[in-house]
A and B are shown apart, each in its own frame.
Chain A
Amino acid sequence: MKIYKNRAFFLSFITILALVTIIFFSKPASAESPKEIRIGATVSMSGKFSTEIGPFKNLMEAYATAINTRGGIYVKSVGKRLPVKFIVYDDKSDGPTARKFYERLISVDKADILLGPYSSPVTFAASVAAEDNKVPFIAICANSEKVYNRGFKWIVCVIDAAPRYTHRYWDMIKAEGWAKTVAFVVEDTLHPQGVYRGAKKLADSAGLKEVSLNVLPADTHDFTAAIVKIQKESPDIVFVSANVPFSIAFMRQARELALNPKEFHVIHHGGVFQKALGAGAEGVVGQSYWTQGMNYGNPELFTEVMKRSGISLDDFPWAPAYMMAFETATQAIERAGSLDRKKLLTTLKHLKVMTIGGVVSFSENGVGTINTYPSQIINGQYHIIWPPDIATAKHEYPGSKN
């Protein structure tokens, strides 16, 4: 009897002590006379998005180090340069967890500005915290229109909406004129669906006819039915709108079953995709934010940050989008001259800033202007193939070498 009582009391003591620790030691940071600029963010270090974004806390810290070695960011209201500090939590690829940590970033860590999590579904939930508490929120890799059509005032996004994600690719196809038909394979999640909706219209404007549409769940492993359907139609282009794991599984089976359109377009075809498919990835066209040789903004700073973080651009081709968000936040703070949230938001909404991916500005609902460029895997290397003024190689397609 005594043993039971002691054990239960001991356990109760431990748990209550733990709770008290959380509640009373999560004291809000001091808000007087800022000594540093606090940028809050979550990264999916676990859960389904961890293979795509897991190490990005290193990227943020590398950027902070790079800026701080250059003296920090000048804030006019304080009259001096302040160092940047990223406060980052693991959102477990989960919306409610992200929301909870953004609330913490706002109320406990007193973040001056927030960077969004990875993916539209998680951003959809997390941005509610920023809107409720009126804190500027810069979304990054979250371009589903649903995120921006809720009338939120405090959210902006560096990249353009999903339907315009591949517009440069379709501009190229229209200019080249060789393709007449397209088959779509779409992963049934927010971002790929949004990209597909736009791609369908853009393909139509480019004069292509949609001959097959296959919408599949995210964890599909057997694509036989879809591949057989597509083979019957013999499309010129097979357009795969999906995240990386889905794309790899589809392409592998497509190669095995000898599905041979004139071109495969896979919207996310980074290094992980190429490593998984080897020679099977050769010639595949996808979308990239940046490549060596592009001269917008400060590419040297980006190269330094990537090197410091230990992240490979090929393996994580959305790293440039994060860099653009960092640059946008930095410029917003400098131009606002203050860490006041309202001033930051007003500055953001009217911002026009050159970043490594081009000019970033925002529309009324917060959607940005950065778009991807079509890039092709040629002899194992990634090359931007359109528009001609920044292309690093020529697009290889049937008949292109004649």
Chain B
Amino acid sequence: MLAVGLSLAFGIMGVLNLAHGSLAVLAAILYKKALFLYPFSPWTFCALTTPIFLGFGFLLHLIIVAPFRNLSLSSSLVASLIASLGLALILEDLFVWWQGWEPISTHVTFTTFNVWGIKIPGLRAILLGMAALTIGLSTLFLKKTDPGRSMRALAQDKEAASLYGIDPDFTSMGALGLATILAGIAGIFYSSLYPLGPREGLDLTLKALFIVVAGGMGNLRGPAVAGLILGFIESFAAILFTYTSTDTIVYSLLVGYLVLKRSGSRQ
């Protein structure tokens, strides 16, 4: 989920948003605070906070995209990286000040479904379904709606898209808004499964970056599929080899794939 949102930002705007994971942490904190008021389910809270995160996305655009739009590709990448890193560091301290040092953990349930003798953890299954639904809806949005098509056009060729009358600023703002919504949803789901430290935003972003590049930038299905495949590889590597070699194997495969897939291309 996190990787899918990052893919949009990276693919469409060429922006490496290191504050992406911090937005997921923000969502988790908001969810935790909201649970004191009312026992929202994760999916209800996601629906309620979608407009808020859309707004955050627009705000983010003003900080890490708009100021650098006219710089060269390399310079805008670096400038947006530095700006988003600065923002991530500011948010880290604000999160600790607001919510304290302890990790954020929002749901505790161990319900398990038994399907043909296979134990499927209930909450994980539901969240997986919700994630698939969200990605499906987002893919439909990109394919079937005008704003979505504009985003795809911008990702393919910025200049040509402008010639066709697509406003790059407005479109990229929308893309970042969508990416931020996805980050928020990812944060709410993540904190339902694992404790999320207030300073873990950067770590989350970096993990998501790999999946983005493996799956291809600028589309939604690629990172989603890549994430699933990586998850399988991790699990099987743990069974076939040892857990301690899992990371080495996974990252070696990823880097190897990148080198083989991308060498010879000019991207």
Partner-B contacts on A (CB < 8 A): 46-47, 50-51, 54-55, 188, 214-217, 220-222, 224-226, 244-245, 248-249, 252-253, 255-258, 271-272, 275-280, 315
Complex interface: chain A residues within 8 A of B244 (CB): 188, 215-217
**A258 engages B112 (CB within 8 Å):** yes
Q: Which 4 A-B pairs have the closest CB atoms?
A: A278-B108, A256-B121, A54-B101, A216-B243
Taking a contact as CB atoms under 8 Å apart, the answer to whether B110 and A256 are in contact is yes
Interface residues of A: mostly helix, strand, loop or mixed? helix
Q: Mark B173-202, 1 if CB is under 8 A from A, else 0.
A: 000000000000000000001110111000
CB distance from A312 to the nearest CB of B (A): 9
On whether the beta carbons of A217 and B246 are closer than 8 Å, the reply is: yes
**Candidates B112, B124, B243; contact of A217 at CB < 8 Å:** B243
Residues of A within 8 A of B198 (CB): 51
Q: Which residues of B contact A (CB under 8 A)?
A: 92, 96, 101-103, 105, 108, 110, 112, 119, 121-124, 193-195, 197-199, 231, 234-235, 238-239, 242-244, 246-247
Say yes or no: B105 contacts A50, CB within 8 Å.
Answer: no
- List residues of chain B with CB within 8 A of the CB of A216: 238, 243-244
Q: Assess A217 versus B101: contact at CB under 8 Å? Given A225-B235, A256-B112, A277-B108.
A: no
Total A-B Cβ pairs within 8 A = 88
When distances are taken between beta carbons in the complex, the residues of chain B under 8 Å from A50 are 96, 101, 197, 199
Can you sample 18 A-B contacts with CB below 8 Å? A50-B96, A50-B101, A50-B199, A54-B101, A55-B101, A217-B246, A220-B243, A222-B238, A225-B238, A225-B243, A248-B105, A255-B110, A256-B123, A276-B103, A276-B105, A276-B108, A279-B108, A280-B108
Provide the bound-state CA to CA distance between A260 and B257, in Å.
Answer: 40
A339-B255 Cα distance, complex, nearest whole Å? 56
A238 vs chain B, min Cβ distance (A):
16
Rounded to whole angstroms, the CA-CA distance of A182 and B178 in the bound complex is: 49
A249 to B124, CA, bound (A): 13
Whether A47 and B110, one on each chain, are in contact in the complex, defined by CB atoms closer than 8 angstroms, is no
User: B105 CB to closest chain A CB, in angstroms?
Assistant: 4
- Return chain A residues, CB-CB under 8 Å to B195: 245, 248-249, 272, 276
- Whether A315 contacts B102 in the complex (CB less than 8 A), given A217-B243, A225-B239, A257-B121, comes out as yes
* CA A213 to CA B153, docked complex, whole Å: 53
A188: B residues at CB distance < 8 A: 243-244
Tell me the complex Cα distance, A57–B121, Å: 40
A217 nearest CB across to chain B (Å): 6
Q: Is the CB of B105 within 8 A of A222?
A: no
Contacts of A215 in B (CB 8 A): 242-244
Q: Is the CB of A257 within 8 A of B112?
A: yes
Contact A257 B243 (CB under 8 A): no
Kindly name the residue among B110, B123, B199, B247 whose own CB sees the greatest number of chain A CB atoms within 10 A: B110
Which residues of the partner chain B approach A272 to less than 8 Å between Cβ atoms?
A: 102-103, 195
CA distance A224 to B112 in the complex (A): 14
Q: Which residues of B contact A276 (CB under 8 A)?
A: 103, 105, 108, 195
* Chain A residues with CB under 8 A of B242: 215
6 additional A-B residue pairs with CB within 8 Å, beyond A50-B197, A272-B195: A214-B243, A248-B194, A252-B110, A253-B121, A276-B108, A276-B195
Cβ contact within 8 Å between A51 and B246:
no
Contacting residues, chain B, for A315 (C-beta < 8 A): 102
In the assembled complex, the Cα of A215 lies from the Cα of B108 at a distance in Å of 26
- Give the shortest distance, in Å, between B29 (CB) and chain A (any CB): 14
A245 touches B197 (CB 8 A): yes
Contact indicator A217/B108 (Cβ below 8 Å):
no
Whether A51 lies near B105 (C-beta < 8 A) is no
